[in-house]
Chain A
Amino acid sequence: MSDISQVEVRNLFHHLQVNESEKFFAHVRDDVQWTVKGTHPLAGHYQSKQSFLEATFMRLNPILQEGVVLKVEHIFTADNTAVVEMKSLSTAKNGKPFNNTYCWVVEFDSDKKIVAVRAYLDSALVQQVVDENE
């Protein structure tokens, strides 16, 4: 198990802010265990990168004007785990801001690839943006 650093996490998550999510997801294992917490249409326990992307990013992208844009607020690290607080800076198709807040608990494997994520977010706001824009 190798420790992950603040700088490594910051560089990796920067891709999500500058519309390079494919570069971020290149560091996510195909067999990632990704849990989106909460009661809302995108929640679930996804057992692969593909199923996570299809159920979340690919569903949100068409209803957000600039797609999914996430800005890092704070990063904490403990051994092979990073905790990343983020904000979304997107606008929904109907013009309303989609200012969601996220806390991702991210586990890295020994190759520093993401092997598990538990994502906490404002589920009421996700429900609203889906209801109003799909």
Chain B
Amino acid sequence: MDRSDTLVSKAEDDDHLSVVEFEAAYAGLSPGDRVRLRRLAHYFACRCGGEADDLLQEALKRILEGRRHCPRAIPVLQSIAGIISSLASEASESYKKGLRPVAVAETVIDRAEYEGPSPEREVMSQFDDGAMLGRIQACVDGDEECQMLLEGICDGMRGSELEELLDVDTKGLATIQRRLQRKIGHLKAERASR
């Protein structure tokens, strides 16, 4: 029995949706849910320099092949989101390992001689994480509230901490969060620059 067969068998247990059940679950998604899938794929595609449709298709294919599973205990959309995120991370790791061409980020020349426990890793990170953060920060240029919210989120703040940081109530925070999500959501994949 090869690895994929093992995975298929595992998916047929009581804790995970079978492929047939997953197909039924997808068929039951609302139009808004389908939009959510494309928005998620779009966001994570920017992270790995690919196309949103390709990323979504690959995530769905892995589930339909039985190579990835949707636990019954969590909503199917959340499972797909996790798989999309995971695939984007895998692709990003491939870039960092030099498996695909990468461009030099603006700050990398200064950091190329950094002396740390793993300097190559850090330099490579500048190509991806640093560059991506730079692009996201550029999205909120001129919007002070979104800039502060972005900093707070990146620092690990949540809920009331963010309300305190921005000096707003729950409703006000939700409004700024929606604005930030829309701004980041407009990021386009830059395949040519990766």
Does A associate with B in a complex? no
Please report A residues at the B interface, Cβ cutoff 8 Å: none
Which residues of chain B have a CB within 8 Å of any CB of chain A?
A: none
